[in-house]
């Protein structure tokens, strides 16, 4: 009986861990996809801070919370560090793996890794 209860508890904990990982993965994908969309909008000359952009951001924030804001800020910080290294003539793992002809979308995909 105790062995069955222990196994059931272990199964429940494993399911919780897997569900949490899946939720984090979905949230991270939402943020990454939004970043890609904003980048595409900027490349197409679309209006910045449009109602659509702000509504999409609000939906993500409501779903993911402050973690989304922090993560986007962290991504921006990584991009600044990559730009600084490039301007100073330093190679980065991104430039080495993607080469000099990498697109902005490829760089985002490389920098924003989904767990």
* pLDDT (tens digit per residue) in 34-90: 988 998 998 899 998 999 999 999 999 998 888 888 888 888 888 888 888 888 888
The residue with tokens 């909008």 is 41
Taking residues 1-5, report their average pLDDT.
Answer: 63
Q: In the prediction, which pLDDT does 18 show? A: 65
Alpha-carbon distance of 101 to 103, in angstroms, equals 6
Q: How distant, in Å, are the alpha carbons of 5, 21, 66, 84, 113 from that of 56?
A: 44, 23, 15, 30, 21
Contacts of 30 (CB under 8 A, 6+ apart): 60, 63, 64, 68
Residue 71 structure tokens: 């993560």
Contacts of 96 (CB under 8 A, 6+ apart): none
Q: In the prediction, which pLDDT does 95 show? A: 81
Residue 20 structure tokens: 């949490």
Alpha-carbon distance of 39 to 34, in angstroms, equals 9
Looking at every residue in the chain, the average pLDDT score rounds to: 82
């Amino acid at each position: 009986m105790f062995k069955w209860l222990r196994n059931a508890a272990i199964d429940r904990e494993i399911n919780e861990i897997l569900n949490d990982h899946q939720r984090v993965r979905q949230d991270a994908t939402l943020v990454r996809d939004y970043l890609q969309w904003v980048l595409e909008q900027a490349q197409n000359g679309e209006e910045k801070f449009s109602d659509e952009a702000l509504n999409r951001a609000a939906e993500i924030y409501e779903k993911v919370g402050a973690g989304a804001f922090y993560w986007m800020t962290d991504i921006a910080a990584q991009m600044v560090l990559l730009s600084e290294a490039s301007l100073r003539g330093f190679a980065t793992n991104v430039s080495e793996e993607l080469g000099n002809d990498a697109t902005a979308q490829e760089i985002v995909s490389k920098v924003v890794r989904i767990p």
